Structure formats: C-alpha cells, structure tokens
Amino acid sequence: MSASASGTATGHVEQMLRQVTPGRYDAYEALLRALATPASGQVWMLLWQGQAGSPDAQWARMEVDGHGYAPCVTSPQELSASGWNRSYEVVDGLDAARVLYPGHYGLWLNPHAPGGGVGIPWLDLRRIATGLDRQPAGPLRLSEPVMDLSHFYALLAQHAHRTPVVRSLRRAWVQPAIGAPYLAIGLDLYDSSQPSVEAVRTMMQPCMSALPDGLPVSTVAMADDYDPVAMWLRANARPFYDRQAHAGAAPNQPGGYGYPPAGAAY
C-alpha cells in the first residue's frame, strides 16, 4: 500500500487528537472530520521502504489485537519524537483512508505517544472515504428488532415479491454511538443497476405508511462487503422475505462471517 502527496503541518488533526479519550465519541467524530478535511487533515505516513513518491514506497504496518494498521504521525514535531529513522510521506487523511480501508487496514496515529496513540479502524476509514454523514457512527450495536412491525414487514414482503430484482430482505435494529437508533432493511438484489435501484425505491414508498410516525428507516445493500450492517445481517439475520423460499425452495442460510452474536457491540 502506498500513496504520495506533499504538504505542511497545520496541527488540525493533532488538536482534535488531544481531545480524544475513552467514551468521548463526540471528540472521536471530530477527529474523523479533521482527517476527512483535505489539506488540513494531513498525516505523516511512515515508510517501511522507498522514498516519498517513488514507485516502491511502502507504508509501514503494525498489528493490534489481530487487526492491521498503518502507523503515522501528526506533525514534524511528532515525527522527531517518534525516533523514526526511515523515510515518510505527507498525505491527506482522506487519501490515506481511500488507500487503506479496501484492504481492511486501519490508521494508527502517533503510536509512540504516551498511552500508545489512537487507532482508527478500517470501518471508520471507510466512513471518511465515502462520506462521514452517509454511514452511522460506530461502534454500532446491532440486534433483531423487537418492535412489533408485522404489518410493515408483511406489506414490504408483498411488494418485494412483485419486484423481480429482489432476492431477499433482512432486518436489523441499529444503535449508533452518536445519533438516533433506526431500522435497517438489508436488500439482497439480483443486480445493482440504476433501474433496479429505482424499482426498490418504488417498492419501499407505499410501505412507509405502515411504520410508526418518526421511526427512522434505512436500507443497506447486502452485496456491500464493507458495510458493517450488511456484514452483521449476513452473519446473524434470517431473511423475512426470500424469493426462493416463497417459491417452495429451501431458503438460503446466511453464511458465517465470524461476527458477534445478535445484540453484541459491533
């Protein structure tokens, strides 16, 4: 994994980093926003080999609790304090996130600092790369919904059966670290073309009136290999609508992904 950029210290990420303490999810979100801001969200990536901008430049790697991270520092001062004696390159946090998350690598800020610095898991790098407001703030707590929404599910299953692009539907109750909990509907589609997306939107609209006022609902593509809600649904939730089962075939069983059981923190 490598990237190249140049820049100067702004201190924005470093300022936000100082505010992060256990349980301060608001401060952590502010740090993510700082990293997502071009130019002012720069980090100094430590190179294990090569020079900044060279084809063979390779970011250093580290492992914490079985998860991979790329270490970095937040300023020239922290670089000096780290004692790193190899090369480095300055990149926008947004660019680092785009490079790292597809390989399930996180970003670790100032690992040399007292307390070990702060790690940004790859799931949060994905939020940075794709837009923080588009994904719920973790850590997420996911479980089977307990609210009685049988009429909504029945109506949705009826409309799904009339929408040929839908293979199956799953559901989860999502409680983000920041923000209101919501009902997530997992969409397993035969294809993800624009006409299919429009067909699903048409399918959902008449069903929304069956929900209690003010209940937030979001959809998630089951084919998204990087979405934590989709991963939880594949591992833990049986479909409440399955086209094959409806036709008399045995329903597909969700595959095991090694994720926590229902109700566990995610």
Residues 231 and 150 in one domain: yes
Do 65 and 24 fall within a single domain?
A: yes
Q: Number of structural domains, the chain? A: 2
Summarised one tens digit per residue, pLDDT across range 72-110 is: 999 999 999 999 999 999 999 999 999 999 999 999 999
Q: What is the pLDDT of residues 11-57, one digit of tens each?
A: 789 999 999 998 899 999 999 999 999 878 999 999 999 898 888 99
User: Which is it for the CA torsion 123, 126, 131, 135, positive or negative?
Assistant: negative
Q: Are residues 116 and 185 in the same domain?
A: no
The pLDDT score that the predictor gives to residue 135 is 87
The structure tokens listed for 104 are 């399930």
Answer whether 151's CB lies under 8 Å from 241's CB. no
* Cβ pair 31, 121 in contact under 8 A: no
Based on the fold, state whether residues 124 and 170 are members of the same structural domain: no
Residues 148 and 79 in one domain: no
Q: How confident is the model at residue 63 (pLDDT cuts 50, 70, 90)?
A: very high
Q: What does the buried/exposed string (b/e) look like for 149-166 if buried means 16 or more CB atoms within 10 Å of the residue's CB?
A: beebbebbbebbeebebb
Of the three residues 103, 134, 165, the one that is the final residue of a domain is 134
Write the CATH number for 171: 3.30.70
Q: What is the pTM of this model?
A: 0.78
Residue 7 included in any domain: no
Q: Is residue 193 part of a domain?
A: yes
Instruction: Give the pLDDT confidence score for residue 40 in this predicted structure.
Output: 84
pLDDT given at position 264: 43
Do residue 128 and residue 187 come from a single domain? no
**Domain assignment of residue 233, yes or no:** yes
pLDDT of residue 247: 66
Mark whether 100 and 58 lie in a shared domain.
yes
- Is 260 among the domain residues? no
Q: What is the pLDDT, as a whole number, of residue 248?
A: 57
Q: Say if residue 164 is in the same domain as residue 124.
A: no
| 257 is a domain residue | no
Q: Which percentage of the chain shows pLDDT scores above 70?
A: 88
Contacts 24+ apart (CB under 8 A), 155-161: 155/206, 155/207, 155/210, 156/185, 156/203, 156/204, 156/207, 156/241, 157/240, 157/241, 159/203, 159/204, 159/206, 159/207, 160/203, 160/241, 160/243, 161/241, 161/243, 161/246
Which pLDDT score, from 0 to 100, does residue 216 have?
A: 95
Neighbours of 29 (CB within 10 A): 20
Rounded mean pLDDT of 2-18? Answer: 64
Confirm whether 115 is domain-assigned.
Answer: yes
Report helix, strand or coil for 170.
Answer: strand
Domain-terminating residue out of 80, 102, 134: 134
Shared domain check, 128 and 145: no
Last residue of a domain, one of 134, 165, 192: 134
Residues 66 and 129 in one domain: yes
The pLDDT-based confidence of 138 (bands split at 50, 70, 90) is confident
Residues 43 and 116 in one domain: yes
Do 128 and 59 lie in one domain? The reply is: yes
Q: What is the mean pLDDT of residues 176-182?
A: 93
Q: Flag whether 237 is in a domain.
A: yes
> Residue 259, SS3?
coil
pLDDT for position 254: 37
Model confidence pLDDT, tens digit, residues 209-263: 999 999 999 999 999 999 999 999 999 999 999 998 876 544 343 332 233 333 4
The overall average pLDDT reported for the chain is: 88
Domain of 242 in residue numbering reads as: 141-246
